[in-house]
């Protein structure tokens, strides 16, 4: 399993989808469910961070294109 900071958006999102499906469809021990939930929370934060970074880059690139005109 990759470290959280090494995951791409796509990898983090795919793992998050798997965790959500597992928690919705399978009976797990409470401690295992809590560990999955915690991992899911961290994956969600990772996805949000990567999206924010992408949005900032797009804004910077857009502003650069406007100032070049």
DSSP-derived secondary structure for 55-66: HHHHHHHHHHHH
pLDDT at 69 (0 to 100) = 57
Mean pLDDT for 5-9 is 95
CB burial of residue 46 (10 Å; 0-12, 13-18, 19+): buried
pLDDT at 44 (0 to 100) = 98
pLDDT band at 64 (very low <50, low <70, confident <90, very high): confident
What pLDDT digit, counting tens, does each position of 24-57 carry? 999 999 999 999 999 999 999 999 999 999 999 9
27: left (phi over 0), alpha (psi -120 to 50) or beta: beta
Which 8-state DSSP code applies to residue 5?
A: G
pLDDT at 67 (0 to 100) = 64
CA dist 10 and 28 (Å) reads: 26
């Amino acid at each position: 399993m990759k470290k959280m900071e090494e995951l791409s958006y796509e990898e983090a999102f795919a793992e998050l989808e798997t965790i959500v499906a597992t928690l919705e469809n399978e009976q797990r021990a409470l401690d295992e469910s809590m560990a999955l939930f915690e991992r899911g929370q961290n994956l969600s934060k990772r996805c949000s961070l990567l999206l924010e970074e992408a949005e900032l880059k797009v804004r910077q690139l857009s502003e650069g294109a406007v100032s070049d005109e």
